[in-house]
Structure 1
Amino acid sequence: MAESQHPRLILHNFLSFHECKELEFIHKSCSTVGYRPNVFSTTLSHLIATNSSHLVMPFVPIRERLKEKVEEFFGCEYELFVEFTGLISWSRGASIGWHSDDNRPYLKQRDFSVLCYLNNYGDDFNGGIFHFQDGEPPTIIPSRGEVVIYTADSRNVHSVDEIIEGERLTLALWFSRDSSHDEDAKLLSLLSENSLHCSKLISWLPVPASSNMYWFILGNASDDQSGFDICWARLHVLGLDILYSPENSCDSDISELLVEPLRLARGDELLEMEFANILHALQVVQYYCWKASELETTTKVEVETSKVILLSESQQKSISSLKSLFSKDDHLAETVFGRAACGESMRLYFNWEKFVAAVAMWEDYVRPSYEGIAQSLPYWRKQQSIFNVAFDGK
């Protein structure tokens, strides 16, 4: 075990740029309101529950590599279980004072903590600097791909400065020696249950959770007449609107609308392509953001003239009514998500041809992951562990 009063390990560039951007895509297309004010989270159990279990696959090799590093550094090979895996982002106003990660009775099973930074201080957010109370290094400036590993007990008390602007995104894991807190057992139970209900024609289409999981309210406010739906907001800050059919559906409840088919609009144009629900649309849009540079070099995709039409006056009114339903404060949505990495390029360079190409690319992306889950699940069940299964020819 590492000989130190404050055992910790810093790994620079441990995660590749691609891995960081892929996890960012997953989080920004699947996250819910988090466990603390001004925080958003994406857990593996939530991905499974919303029929996005295929998006668990990118986590698998990363979890394995991190577990090996933790066991090697602390000299506890084959002793640890992953207790929690999740993507967590902090927005303006989020902070936490001095604490250890096992500072509650229900957290005492946590032995080791791992924090992976997925974006950069200064470029993507301001504030959010990590401090250790004692030991070296005393301060961590978040940098994409960097990993911080430390004991979850009082030897590594730490704090995080308040986020001033932007969204600070991390992959967080906790490890435990207690097998009763093994996350894999819980995830396998959910995956097995989910596989029994995959009767949809296209079974990788996401299904939104309940509306309250997506409703963001600033800080500790509890006013139902404030805040916004984060799925709508992440589309809104990229310059996109949603439209349901028939147009009078804007009188419906949000919980009903989240699962209804919709179309996307931008400015005075409407794409005549239907998405299964708002989560489906959001995943494709965030995929478009992630792959924007690749799409610039792809073969031009012709969009039929009939596929992009001008919005009618009644459709524009419906979009306006929907905005008032999905957001009680547009300015707040801009404040929280307005510094989106691809926001400026979306506003300046967006075109429907590239977006339609992204729809097909998204399907090509999720299909192998979905098949990978289906192939791996029998092996995972047998071992009661989630691991990277090597198949012939892969």
Structure 2
Amino acid sequence: MAAMAAADHPRILLHRFLSLELCKELEFVHRSCCSVGYRPSVFSTTLSHLIATNCAHLILPFLPIRERIKEKVEELFGCEFELFVEFTGLISWCRGACIGWHHDDNRPYLKQRDFAVMDGERLTLTLWFTRNSAHDEDAKLMALLSQAAENYKFDKRECYLPSPASDNMYWFSHDQSGFDIRCARVHLLGYSFCSTSDVKCTTSASSNDSLELLNEPLRLGRGDEIFVKEFVNSLHALQVLQFYYWKAPELEKSRRETAGDMESSRSSILRKSSDMELKLPCNHELAETILGAIYYKEPETIFDWDGLSAAVAGWENYSTKLRRDLSSFMPYWLSNETIFYVNPLELQICKE
């Protein structure tokens, strides 16, 4: 009956299947970690990419969603315990992109169905399922996790710091112009990447050389001020910044409650000179056209550097907790040869 229902109604709408907070968390992961996608105007965040950039802990929000969707698909098609997840990823299509499925000779079920995004950025959680265990995503992910096992030991200091992929994975190219995704997302929020010293920054003779600065320590600038915090690279800065915009209401409430105990925001900033901003080959006008600045509205709070300082601590606590969970889950994944969400309460009972 379920199979017949699926044939009669090929699209199933599950209202409020994901909470708004979980959607915002996935948006945070994508906007702070994504790379260029498989076709023009498409950006993607895959689980394998997160592992490869030392952000394996950020796969954890995906796990309960994968399991819930898989169970629902098996129920719908009457194939309980028969499916494997072949692919999990966040895909966003931006202005001018065609959305749909490519035809694949190896996977004939993928037909060409295209439609266009008229404005902004459309973010979609995409999962592919298969009955063929040879295409099981978990086996590939477990191999990647095992290769990088040393990085997932919680006793390593600041083991949650991201490590960028190659620069070309962040470069969006369009009509002989382009922009680096990391630069674009920072710029659309009103910030810039700046040097960690007052040494004059000049445009390199090679665009590739100048983009390499994004893999070095840097600071965030806004207007004529620079945040004193030094970030290990651009991904580190971008994750903190995106975390700030995700958690702005909570951070603002916490800031008001502890306002009397906090130092003045003046101690968190430096004066900025034009020579301190990194000169990078990024077409900001193109970035605004493609990504749509309307999706990067200011939080409903008045910006101050204290809020960003609070975001640094909040992001570290968030990342530390996920790293701790990842370290706890790994033995269960290895013994079961599959990746799944482990309820913290059940985990505690098992340990006792």
- Output the CA distance in 2 between the equivalents of 1:237 and 1:19: 23
- Output the CA distance in 1 between the equivalents of 2:130 and 2:228: 50
SS at match of 1:217: strand
SS at match of 2:338: coil
1:188-337 matches, within 5 Å, as 188-197=142-151, 201-218=157-174, 221=175, 223=176, 226-246=177-197, 247-248=199-200, 250-251=202-203, 253-298=209-254, 299=257, 300=259, 301-303=262-264, 305-311=266-272, 313=273, 316-319=274-277, 322-323=278-279, 325-327=280-282, 329-337=283-291
Residue matched to 2:46? 43
- Indicate whether 1:363 and 2:316 are aligned: yes
Q: Which amino acid aligns with 1:2?
A: A
- Output the CA distance in 1 between the equivalents of 2:104 and 2:139: 23
Displacement, 1:198?
A: 5.4
> Residue 270 of structure 1 contacts residue 309 of structure 1 at CA under 8 Å; is this kept in 2?
yes
TM-score (structure 1 length as normaliser): 0.79
- Output the CA distance in 1 between the equivalents of 2:292 and 2:302: 17
Displacement, 1:12?
A: 1.3
- Output the CA distance in 1 between the equivalents of 2:296 and 2:10: 38
Deviation string 1:289-347 (CA, Å, 9 cap, x unpaired) is 10111122113343463331221x3xx1341xx34x241x221112223435343448x
Residue matched to 1:147? none
- Equivalent residue pairs, number: 332
- Output the CA distance in 2 between the equivalents of 1:10 and 1:159: 20
Displacement, 1:83?
A: 0.3
> Please, which runs of 5 or more residues in structure 1 have no aligned partner?
109-151
- Output the CA distance in 1 between the equivalents of 2:27 and 2:243: 10
Residue matched to 1:92? 95
Displacement, 1:245?
A: 3.1
> Residue 46 of structure 2 contacts residue 89 of structure 2 at CA under 8 Å; is this kept in 1?
yes
Deviation string 1:366-390 (CA, Å, 9 cap, x unpaired) is 1111111111111111111111123
> Residue 211 of structure 1 contacts residue 254 of structure 1 at CA under 8 Å; is this kept in 2?
no
Deviation string 1:53-112 (CA, Å, 9 cap, x unpaired) is 000000010100000000001000010000000000010100146x5x6x312334xxxx
C-alpha change, 1:5 and 1:198, in structure 2 (3 Å) is closer
- Output the CA distance in 1 between the equivalents of 2:266 and 2:10: 62
> Residue 81 of structure 1 contacts residue 176 of structure 1 at CA under 8 Å; is this kept in 2?
yes
Deviation string 1:7-44 (CA, Å, 9 cap, x unpaired) is 33221111110110000000000000111100100000
- Output the CA distance in 1 between the equivalents of 2:264 and 2:295: 26
> Residue 188 of structure 2 contacts residue 296 of structure 2 at CA under 8 Å; is this kept in 1?
no
Residue matched to 1:382? 335
Which of residues 284, 294, 304 in structure 2 aligns to 1:351? 304
- Output the CA distance in 2 between the equivalents of 1:96 and 1:364: 37
- Output the CA distance in 1 between the equivalents of 2:276 and 2:286: 22
Residue matched to 2:118? 164
SS at match of 2:144: helix
- Output the CA distance in 2 between the equivalents of 1:211 and 1:193: 22
Q: Which amino acid aligns with 1:58?
A: P
> Cα RMSD between the aligned structures?
2.2
Q: Which amino acid aligns with 2:321?
A: P
Q: Which amino acid aligns with 1:351?
A: D
Q: Which amino acid aligns with 2:178?
A: G
Stretch moving more, 334-343 or 45-54: 334-343
Displacement, 1:165?
A: 1.3
Q: Which amino acid aligns with 1:83?
A: E
Percent identity over paired residues: 52
- Output the CA distance in 1 between the equivalents of 2:315 and 2:294: 20
> Residue 229 of structure 2 contacts residue 268 of structure 2 at CA under 8 Å; is this kept in 1?
yes
- Output the CA distance in 2 between the equivalents of 1:302 and 1:164: 46
Residue matched to 1:115? none
SS at match of 2:28: helix
Deviation string 1:226-275 (CA, Å, 9 cap, x unpaired) is 11111011000111111123434545514521220111111011111101
- Output the CA distance in 1 between the equivalents of 2:217 and 2:263: 24
> Residue 121 of structure 2 contacts residue 295 of structure 2 at CA under 8 Å; is this kept in 1?
no
> Residue 243 of structure 1 contacts residue 262 of structure 1 at CA under 8 Å; is this kept in 2?
yes
- Output the CA distance in 1 between the equivalents of 2:311 and 2:317: 10
- Output the CA distance in 2 between the equivalents of 1:343 and 1:274: 25
Q: 1 or 2, which has the higher strand percentage?
A: 1
- Output the CA distance in 2 between the equivalents of 1:32 and 1:106: 25
